[in-house]
Amino acid sequence: MGSQSAFDTGRLTRTCSWMQRYVDQRKYAGSSLLVKHNGSEVFYYACGHRSVEQDLPFERDTIVRIYSMTKPVTTVALMMLVEQGLVHLDARLSDILPEFSRMQALISGAERLDQTEDAPSPTLHQLLTHTSGFSYPFNPGLLPEAMDEVDLLFKPNQGVLADRVSDLANLPLAFQPGTRWEYSVGIDVIGRVVEVISGQPLDQFFTQKILDPLGMHDTGFSIPSGARDRFASLYTPLAGDMMELNAAETGDDTLRLVDEAGSSPFENTTTFSAGGGLVSTLDDYSRFAEMLRNHGVGNGHRLLGSQTIEFMLCNHLPGDIASLGPQSFAEQPMNGTGFGLGGAVVIDPGRAGVPGSVGDFSWGGMASTFFWIDRVNDLSVVFLTQLSPSSSYPSRAELKALVIGAMIE
């Protein structure tokens, strides 16, 4: 498509009242949105508060927890090593991390954690596509319960990544690798793989190879020095833990404060969570999204070859996610949606139930952040807010309909 004329600016401004309505109804404390078309900014808006308690506005440079939007960044890191011939995606995890050499998987219908059978060590490809047999504590099932008991969630203050990954190796897989799709900590493990292969701590690798080249200077595993006052507070509508998705009870307060500057674990991070540990800003993450849309080039630097990007952004599952029998929490539609490397891929917009293009690549974070790139229309969109869990409201589908509905060519 050619120019800005592909958008009706009047229709785009409808997103302003939509965002404000979420704030007025005390669903979100505040939010921001950035839309780029053909690499140029066509829309920006922010409203509400980054801290309700301190009456601080949600602004363009507000720093937020992007949680699982870290996953595509980690995927790019691994693909850089793949491009150098240092590892391949069909490699067994045990080839790099020996503690995963003797794997067990729960038998079908298991009622106890010791009801297991031998299993192969999952491949790196299975880790990237959530078909490895790993899980998350907030999913239903025996393995998630066992993970929850030892708080195996790769939080910012849980110590060295290598130790948390070793803890995971002591537990069985939820299923035989490759047989199902289940959202998991697999990409956290990929972060440890990146460390071992590169010989660098993950934060250093990210900074040197991805963040600095793209100019993402407000992005990292800890709040940048001197930027604490820009760090948004995190809220939840739940009465209990913001991650307790299986027993989620709505509380009296739709914006209950759960983390804020001054006492946040993100101020002194010890765990480099490759699956959910980064904080970032609207413009920083837009630079990353634009690099993906622009075939691997961003800020004048080529991070990956164009064909590697094509490979990442295609569907790597036999069909859609729904066809692989998921039981896990997911932040995206499963029907009509496949999975690439590090994010979801639309394979049938009709079945996905949301307007868009075949091949749209997207992912979100637990605090309701979201991004997508539409390479058919040369579009990238980043939406930031801070409310966990992301399943609280259908904002992602609504936002996508609003943006796509503003396109008139």
Question: With 60 as the cut, is the pLDDT of residue 248 above it?
Answer: no
Assign 244 a pLDDT band (cuts: 50, 70, 90): low
What average pLDDT score do residues 225-244 get?
A: 88
Q: Which residues contact 255 (CB under 8 A, 6 or more apart)?
A: 26, 29, 52, 235, 237, 387
Q: pLDDT grade, residue 111 (50/70/90)?
A: very high
DSSP string, 308-335: HHHHHTS--SSS-GGGG---S--SS--T
The residue with tokens 């605090």 is 367
Whether the per-residue pLDDT at 382 is higher than 60: the answer is yes
End-to-end CA distance of the chain: 8
What tens digit of pLDDT does each residue of 152-210 get?
999 999 999 999 999 999 999 999 999 999 999 999 999 999 999 999 999 999 999 99
Cα–Cα distance for residue pair 159/151, rounded to 1 Å? 12
Residue 4: pLDDT above 70? no
**Mean pLDDT within 244-268:** 84
pLDDT at 247 over 60: no
Query: Mind giving me the DSSP string for 290-314?
Result: HHHHTTTEETTEE-S-HHHHHHHTS
**Residue 239: what pLDDT?**
82
Query: By percentage, how much of the chain surpasses pLDDT 90?
Result: 91
CA proximity to 132, closest of 65, 178, 66? 178
For residue 404, pLDDT over 80 is answered with yes
Cis? peptide before 389, omega within 30° of 0: yes
Residue 2, pLDDT > 50, answer: no
pLDDT value of residue 92: 98
Residue 18's pLDDT is 98
- Inform me whether the pLDDT recorded for 360 exceeds 60: yes
pLDDT for 409 equals: 74
Q: Token pair for residue 217?
A: 């200077």
pTM: 0.96
Mean pLDDT of the 350-378 span = 96
Specify the residue for token string 């992602």.
396
**pLDDT at residue 246 is higher than 70:** no
- What's the pLDDT tens digit per position in 322-348? 999 777 666 667 899 999 999 999 999
Contact 258, 236 (CB under 8 A): yes
pLDDT in tens, 70-99: 999 999 999 999 999 999 999 999 999 999
Supply angle C-alpha 297, 299, 302, rounded to 5. 30
Average pLDDT over residues 350-372: 96
Whether the predicted pLDDT of 264 surpasses 50: yes
